[in-house]
């Protein structure tokens, strides 16, 4: 009878045992790496909510008209263009997962399209295009250990917002008609807008939310 008991203990599946020591650390490390690339339910919820908020605000509020009332010159709308990346940066800051930027961008672009964007279905592609450069900007800042500083957030968001300036100038044909100095000025405005709105303001919002322990 004792032999049968010992045999049954030896036949136990190792997966039913509680991991301890080095094996436990290996499992925890695998779970941590797995969570970096896959969205949890909370990730999907936060990314979707912020994408919807960004889509509503960007689609309903005509920020370009607000700027043209006091700066009716070429490139003026770039002064507030950083608001498009604001929601992506907040999503990243709350979850610390760079891929969530793409989720937020796609949802935001889709809602902009539904609200009658002048670019129609291409609006989704444009928003995703900006999110790719924002992703690269954060990755570069991470290499230098600046991915959690105000400067790092500002530079990454500035790069992400700057990326759309040459794209729109080529699509609209402005780059072939207007003087190159206006293009440079638009790039400067785009970078500064991304730095301030999508970088510094997003960092401030995220820090306040985390300090209040809302999420």
pLDDT band at 12 (very low <50, low <70, confident <90, very high): very low
The C-alpha atoms of residue 146 and residue 155 are separated, in whole angstroms, by 10
Query: Does residue 15 fall inside a structural domain?
Result: no
Nearest to 109 by CA among 191, 117, 63: 117
Query: Does residue 136 fall inside a structural domain?
Result: yes
Query: Does residue 6 fall inside a structural domain?
Result: no
Q: Return the axis-axis angle of helices 164-172 and 122-143, rounded to nearest 10°.
A: 150
| Residue 83: per-residue pLDDT | 92
Domain carrying residue 107: 42-211
Query: Does residue 84 fall inside a structural domain?
Result: yes
Query: Does residue 25 fall inside a structural domain?
Result: no
Query: Does residue 22 fall inside a structural domain?
Result: no
Residue 43 to residues 37, 57, 96, 102, 203, Cα–Cα distance (Å): 11, 21, 10, 12, 18
Query: Does residue 14 fall inside a structural domain?
Result: no
**In this predicted model, what pLDDT tens digit does every residue of 159-197 receive, in sequence order?**
999 999 999 999 999 999 998 999 999 999 999 999 999
Query: Does residue 52 fall inside a structural domain?
Result: yes
How many structural domains is the chain composed of?
1
**In this predicted model, what pLDDT tens digit does every residue of 20-51 receive, in sequence order?**
455 444 434 544 554 555 789 999 999 999 99
Nearest to 183 by CA among 195, 170, 192, 199: 170
| Residue 133: per-residue pLDDT | 97
């Amino acid at each position: 009878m004792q032999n049968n008991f010992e045999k049954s203990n030896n036949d136990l599946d190792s997966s039913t045992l509680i991991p301890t020591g080095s094996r436990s650390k290996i499992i925890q490390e695998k779970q941590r790496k797995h969570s970096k690339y896959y969205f949890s339910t909370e990730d999907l919820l936060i990314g979707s909510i912020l994408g919807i908020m960004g889509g509503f605000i960007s689609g309903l509020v005509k920020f370009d008209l607000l700027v043209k009332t006091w700066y009716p010159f070429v490139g003026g709308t770039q002064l507030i263009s950083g608001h498009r990346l604001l929601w992506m940066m907040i999503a990243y800051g709350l979850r610390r997962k760079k891929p969530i930027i793409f989720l937020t961008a796609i949802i935001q672009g889709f809602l902009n399209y539904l609200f009658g964007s002048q670019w129609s279905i291409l609006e989704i592609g444009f928003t995703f295009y900006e999110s790719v450069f924002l992703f690269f900007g954060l990755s570069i800042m991470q290499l230098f250990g600046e991915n959690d500083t105000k400067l790092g957030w500002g530079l990454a968001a500035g790069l992400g917002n700057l990326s759309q300036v040459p794209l729109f100038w080529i699509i609209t044909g402005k780059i072939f008609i207007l003087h190159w100095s206006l293009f440079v000025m638009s790039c400067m405005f785009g970078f500064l807008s991304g730095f301030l709105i999508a970088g510094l303001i997003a960092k401030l919002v995220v820090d306040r939310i985390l300090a209040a322990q809302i999420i």
